[in-house]
Structure 1
Amino acid sequence: LPLYTSAQIYNNITLGLSITTLDENPYWTSPSGDFAFGFHPQQDLFLVATWYVKIPIKTIFWTANNGKPIERGAKIQLTSNGVLSLTAPNGSETRIGQAIDNSQVTYAAILNTGNFVLSTKESKIVWATFDNPTDTILPNQVLDLGNKLSSRLTKDDYTIGRFELVLQGDGNLMLYSIARPKENTNTPYWRSDTLNNGSQLIFNQSGNIYLTLRSGGIHSLSSERPPSTEDYYQRATLDYDGVFRQYTYPKISPNGRWPESCKLWEYGSGVCGFNSYCRLDEDQRPECGCPPGYTYLDPKNTFRGCKPNFVLQVCETDELRIVDGFEMRDLPSTDWPFADYEWFKSVNEDWCRETCLIDCFCAAAIIRGGNSSAERSPSTIYKENNEDDNWILPGSILLGISAVLNLLFLFLVIYSACYKKQTRTQTDTRTFEANLRSFTYEELNEATDGFKEQLGKGASSTVYKGVLKSDFECLVAVKRLDKVVEGNDKEFKAETSAIGKTNHKNLVQLVGFCNEETHRLLVYEFMMNGSLENFLFGSLRLCWNQRIQIALGIARGLAYLHEECSSQIIHCDVKPQNILIDNSHVARISDFGLAKLLKSDQTRTTTGIRGTRGYVAPEWFRNMPITTKVDVYSFGIMLLEIICCRKNCEPEALHLLVVNDEEAKNDGKNLERMVMVALWCIQEEPSLRPSMKKVTQMLEGAVEVSMPPSPSSFICSTG
């Protein structure tokens, strides 16, 4: 039977109303009774979610709290100040939803569309689950530029998984796999090819899914005509296997499962973890298995991969000692592509078996006709081909092909180091502490085509565009430090390790480094959209709401560097040029943590000031202690620039500088709050400036912003 069939229907949820897991019906339903919002049982715990009420199969289409279940005794409340909050049994509080100005909120409701909203007394929606989707969109839902869907981890685990569907700021709709927990984006395995043309992803009332185009017209994604939404429930979900599917379910005579209306994109990517192979079950969903001699890392989550349950093979000069106790096993119709480290032509199967067996670095050998390839371990991907069906079996590397396989896979039941012998190559990459890769200079010289395409240049470094061919054409930004503190390899490694350990969505991720002879290079993920400077002072102007989110992202990133890292990091050069914008128009702070790597004369002017003119805090001039408050000051200057889209604008002139910005003028309360936060940040006395954590809370509206004193040290620059 459907869950909680005797639910009370609430049209409006007024301020102060609450539900708890201890209630008989711990949720609110839509007027039609089709949808519910509240606590959904998840074994002995509860999910904060929205779901379908009238169908027997559990179908959750939105979750709060990043999909993490909560214990019995939790409470959801629309507080008197207009915030939708979740209180755990231990008393800790999490905000599920809030408006930019919470004082406007007078009630909440779950609508007949399945959208849970916070509204004003004029019924203006100021926050909605439809604007903050998780893995699913429903009819009448729109995905705007910069928004995304994130898959769940597994069928029954609703925490964030490894795939994202993103409508980028450039108008392209992309499917990515994500390297968590670092949040690195891999090469997209599907794209709409609507660069500079896509506008919105719309799931309309008729059940059609399409992109609206700036040039006019639409780009349809539904492969067939869907049934009527009057007779069928419909949803489109980015499933845990990375495939975006549209589903239908009859409102009358339910059949116990959601049949697919269509696969919007047939190819997914990256489901099974290391040392595992993938096959499809009877519902055409991925199922991960372990080769002989391996067991699951986590039997409760088979997607994490497999581990060896035997003693590892040891590299010896005596070949007999290497092969003693090991043998080759056959896995027919299975492949391990993209991991070749040696390739042999015109050889037979016996030769390939013997060669792999005596090679302690070889985990597997693949026979393709008369050719053989040796593969490293751990295994990153397998494909398996049944006689009846030819289908993609994804692993942890991207696939975008479908082929009939006629392969013999020879699996060597060993697990050895994934690096080659030094005698075979001098250009091998190694994994360094904090998951950083150590590159050779030659590798980066090749990746940048001889340091050919320059992305930017500063006083202490030059940045070049590069392509890591060993990582499936992965784009990177290679920063060459022109002058560093010499003769201190330990400090260089310690500092790069500290940078590499940072992990925040508003920081540019360090991928690796080169520390070879006199060469010191840092390798970062590539940001296609360039720096914030282009969007503030160039022709590409961000809208007001985007600028608000950019400011919030920078504040959160700096707060993380100041208070949440194992070693506190003071940036010392916060400015728009050091804020990069990713494909989803999320602000990403770059160049943090470099101060100790550079010679002092490379980061200071002749007056001993570190940073950039116009953003430098007054204490640099006064031989005062340098603290995190120098970053707060620089952020305040930059916040004024974000508000008015002009370099180092004077606070007194803000009303003139936003005169042509209708969005900003119509959002007076938020504009006033941001200006007051900026004025607090640029106070001459460091102790008067708030911490970046407090700045974040003020920008979010979580704490009141009092009237700041006049910032007497404010310096206006026309630069």
Structure 2
Amino acid sequence: MAAFVLPHLFFLFVLPYFSVAQTNGIVKVGATLTATEDATPWLSASGDFAFGFHRLDNKDLFLVSIWYDQVPDKTVVWYANGDNPAPRGSKIELTADRGLIFSSPQGEQTSISDPIIGVVAYGVMNDTGNFVLVNKNSEPLWQSFNQFTDTLLPTQIMGNGKFLSSRQSESNFSQGRFQPSRLNGDLGLRTVNIPGNFLNDPYYFLSTGTSSGSGSGPSSDTLAFNKSGYLSIFRDGHELVLSQGDDARAYDFYHRVTLNFDGVLTHYSHPKAKTGNSTGTSIWTVLWTVPANICLSIVKNAASGVCGYNRICRINIDQRPECECPRPFSLLDPADDYRGCVPDFVQDCVNEPSSASNLYDFYVVTNIDWPTSDYDQLEPYDDVSCKEACLTDCMCAVAILRGSCWKKKLPLSNGRLDTSLNSKAFIKFKKTNSSSQNPALPVPDCNNQNGLVILMSAFLGTSVFVNFILISVMCLGFLLIYRNKLTTIGKAESVVERNLRCYTFKELLDATEGFKEELGRGSFGIIGGEKAILTYWAYDCYEEGMLHALVENDAEAISDRKKLERFLIVAIWCIQEDPSLRPTMKKVMLMLEGIVEVTVPPCPHPFSAMGRSGA
């Protein structure tokens, strides 16, 4: 095995250097780049990769970076100034003595390519995505592959003492909170305390080693990504394949492995552009991801969790975490999604009466918890006594009924949605605040297709029977919005099989054939001897992270999954069986526009939950 692995590893190391000798993609000494929208970057021979100034979204700032130039969204794979984006008019020059020199509009200079030992003859933007500076003998003096950011590219190797580092958010390229590193011989993913560099215990292990020690000594662990898209760990002459590639189709797809800003390590692929054509609306496809559920992986007594304090983490269809503030909490900083949430009211232990039943009430949410925020355990307790215990305790912000009654204090940490909990969360809120938040309803805009479905939900969501009908209308609205061809779904009579999974619309239509009855004769159907209703199905799609089933795996809809998910969540709020939980029309419109935080909805049919448990 070792005889095969070592040459394999050697080949991975030297492949980028062999490609330096090519004649295309060369950048001469003295060449410059300027930070403007229309600046021409330095392209690789194939045109696959570009080096230059990449403008940040909706900002007059630029990132010195390398990106996939043939991909519609110009995906960034390396960057040099993530903590300090460049203003318009900044420049880069390739010099013989200092390599790549960055100059601000004020004339301040810094070297991007430190250290340079020798004289630079020219630079090469390789088809591997590696930008290399070489001497007159074509020997590399500096290369971007040795300065790791958040992404590995095929032929790139991360050896001992090197590590990836996530960015701070999707659009903020500052140092983030996650990185792979070694601990006692194991290579794992860890959180970083920012500001500072202290590493917490791993939340996921990429490999399990046998060496002992403090974890500060040398290691033979090497993370390598070969040209066929195989991600492997090499240790002591052995290869552990983490993610499979495709030797036969290696040249038909782009590959990258990215440590995302939310701590999920993901292997992506993307079809290459055809000759003289564009990839159009193609998107990056997830081939492999770890951990499977980061919301449940990170549980630290001294940490806020994936999403920050007082937030709830849940996994979406791409196994990526979505973070939300529960009611009655709001984002501390709308510009920073990970600073956590703060309560919308102040609980006064000094001036408020000891009996607070007339001041406070509870929002009830199922299957969420903040497991590291307990300060008291009460048992045996039921719903009434658990709420009463929290209501009369001014330190109690949330009570979780899960066997025992667990009282929680602020700040709430490591919040997550976990469908295996079989729990109820009683989240305290002040009645005086909520009673004032009932403005008059605005006149609905019937030409606003995005809001039409949800507006109908708010007006019609007055009974269980009507809820069944409006979910069908809501699903039809999704299909219209996302141009799905199955426009006949409105004829499905709220019938769906209950088999602990979410069905697609095609399966729903096929299953309901022969069971169509007049609308109004009932919202129940029987398939395989079991009863079910469409609201259950739609909520299950949301809870199980299978939003793609609502749009029949439509690529265009899934590419805008956040918008799709927001619509569905707002609809679920609007069809709550408990009328007091339904938002006002003003808040519905604000949620639809993304102005107001759309929080995790409870089960819309809690009074029917017992009837579903055996389905």
TM-score bucket (shorter structure): 0.5 to 0.7
Shift of 1:300: 2.8
Question: Does the Cα contact within 8 Å between 2:94 and 2:100 map onto a contact in 1?
Answer: yes
In the alignment, does 2:372 pair up with 1:307? no
Cα deviation, residue 120, structure 1:
1.6
The answer for the alignment partner of 2:476 in structure 1 is none
For residues 346 and 135 of structure 1, the distance between their equivalents in structure 2, rounded to whole angstroms, comes to 49
Secondary structure of 2:251's match?
Answer: coil
Asked whether the 8 Å contact 2:229–2:245 carries over to 1, the reply is no
Aligned residue in 2 for 1:288: 323
What residue in structure 2 maps to residue 202 of structure 1?
Answer: 224
2:307 maps to 1:272: yes
CA contact under 8 A between 2:70 and 2:273: conserved in structure 1? Answer: no
Contact 2:98 2:114 (8 Å CA) reproduced: yes
Give the AA of the match of 2:75. Answer: T
Cα distance between partner residues in 1 of 2:147 and 2:399: 46
How far does residue 67 in structure 1 lie from its aligned partner after superposition? Answer: 4.8
* SS in structure 2 at match of 1:298: coil
* 1:124 paired residue number: 139
CA distance in 1, matches of 2:168, 2:108: 25
Match for residue 378 of structure 1? 411
Deviation per residue, 1:279-312 (Å, 9 max, x gap): 3445543222112222111223323211222233
Query: 2 CA distance for matches of 1:221 and 1:263?
Result: 10
Q: Distance in 1 between matches of 2:140 and 2:245?
A: 33
Q: Tell me, what secondary structure is at the counterpart of 2:154?
A: coil
Give the 5 Å matches for 1:559-638.
none
Shift of 1:153: 1.5
User: Partners of 1:77 and 1:308 in 2: how far apart?
Assistant: 50
Please give the alpha-carbon distance, in whole angstroms, between the structure 1 residues aligned to 2:137 and 2:221: 29
- CA distance in 2 between counterparts of 1:227 and 1:265 reads 28
SS in 2 for 1:221: strand
Deviation at 1:225, TM superposition (A): 5.6
User: In the alignment, is the contact (CA less than 8 A) between 1:10 and 1:28 conserved in 2?
Assistant: no
- Whether the 8 Å contact between 1:339 and 1:380 is mirrored in structure 2 is yes
Letter in 2 for 1:271: V
SS at 2:82's partner residue?
Answer: helix
Do the aligned residues in 1 keep the contact of 2:96 with 2:120 (CA within 8 Å)?
no
Per-residue CA deviation, residues 360-389 of structure 1 (Å, 9 max, x unaligned), is 2222111112x111112111122224xxxx
| Letter aligned with residue 97 of structure 1 | S
Deviation at 1:114, TM superposition (A): 0.2
Give unpaired runs (5+ residues) of structure 2: 1-22, 212-218, 299-304, 431-615
2:406 maps to a residue whose letter is: S
Where does 1:362-441 land on structure 2 (aligned, <5 Å)?
362-369=396-403, 371-385=404-418, 404-413=420-429
Where does residue 102 of structure 2 map in the other structure? Answer: 86
Query: Is the contact made by 1:276 and 1:305 (CA closer than 8 Å) also made in structure 2?
Result: yes
Stretch deviating more after TM superposition (286-295 or 262-271)? 262-271
Equivalent in 283, 286, 289 of residue 257 of structure 1: 283
Question: Quick one: structure 1 residues 366 and 132, their matched pair in 2 at CA, closer, same or farther if it must change by over 3 Å?
Answer: same
Cα distance change on mapping 1:267 and 1:334 into 2, 3 Å: closer
Cα separation, 2, equivalents of 1:172 and 1:128: 28
RMSD: 2.4
Note if contact 1:289-1:302 (Cα within 8 Å) is conserved in structure 2.
no
- 1:337 Cα shift? 0.9
Of 365, 369, 392 in structure 2, the residue corresponding to residue 331 of structure 1 is 365
Secondary structure (helix, strand or coil) at the match of 1:212 reads strand
Aligned length: 384
What amino acid sits opposite 2:287 in the alignment?
S
1:48 is matched with which residue: 56, 64, 69?
64
In the alignment, structure 1 segments of 5+ residues that lack a partner are 1-8, 391-403, 415-719
Q: Does the 8 A contact of 1:148 with 1:167 survive in 2?
A: no
Equivalent-residue separation in structure 1 for 2:316 and 2:240 (angstroms): 32
SS in 2 for 1:149: coil
Partner of 1:111: 126
Q: Distance in 2 between matches of 1:366 and 1:223?
A: 42
- Counterpart position of 2:35: 21
CA deviation digits over 1:132-163, x for unaligned, max 9?
11000010000010111111122222222111
**Alignment partner, residue 575 of structure 1:** none
Q: Give secondary structure in 2 for the equivalent of 1:405.
A: coil
8 Å Cα contact 2:98-2:111 kept in structure 1: no
Q: What's 1:70 paired with?
A: 86
- 1:226 offset after TM fit, Å? 7.3
State whether structure 2 residue 353 is matched by structure 1 residue 353. no
Give me the whole-angstrom Cα distance separating, in 2, the residues matched to 1:10 and 1:225.
Answer: 27
Q: TM-score, structure 1 length as denominator?
A: 0.51
Which whole-Å deviations, capped at 9, do the CAs of 1:617-652 have from their partners, x for residues lacking one?
xxxxxxxxxxxxxxxxxxxxxxxxxxxxxxxxxxxx
Instruction: Measure the CA separation in 2 of the matches of 1:264 and 1:172.
Output: 16
- Flag the 1:41–1:202 CA change in 2: closer, same or farther, 3 A: same
Matches of 1:195 and 1:122 in 2, distance apart?
43
Amino acid corresponding to residue 186 of structure 1 in structure 2: N
Q: Aligned residue for 1:232?
A: 253
**Shift in Å at residue 10 of structure 1?**
6.2
Q: Does the alignment pair 1:138 with 2:153?
A: yes
Following superposition of structure 1 onto structure 2, how do residues 516-535 of structure 1 map, counting pairs within 5 Å?
none
Q: Aligned partners of 2:221, 2:414: CA distance in 1, in Å?
A: 35
1:35–1:53 Cα contact (<8 Å) kept: yes
TM-score, with length taken from structure 2:
0.59
- Matching residue of 2:565: none
Classify the secondary structure of the residue corresponding to 1:184.
coil
- Residue 185 of structure 1 is matched in structure 2 by 199
Change (3 A) 1:317 1:155: closer
State the distance in 2 between where 1:281 and 1:227 align: 31
* Structure with larger RCO (C-alpha < 8 A, sep 6+): 2
Tell me: CA distance 1:23–1:341, structure 2 relative to 1, closer, same or farther (3 Å). Answer: closer
C-alpha separation between the residues in 1 aligned to 2:348 and 2:244? Answer: 50
Give the counterpart letter for 1:243 in structure 2.
V
Residue pair 1:145, 1:171 contacting (<8 A) in 2 also:
no
Asked whether the 8 Å contact 1:340–1:376 carries over to 2, the reply is yes
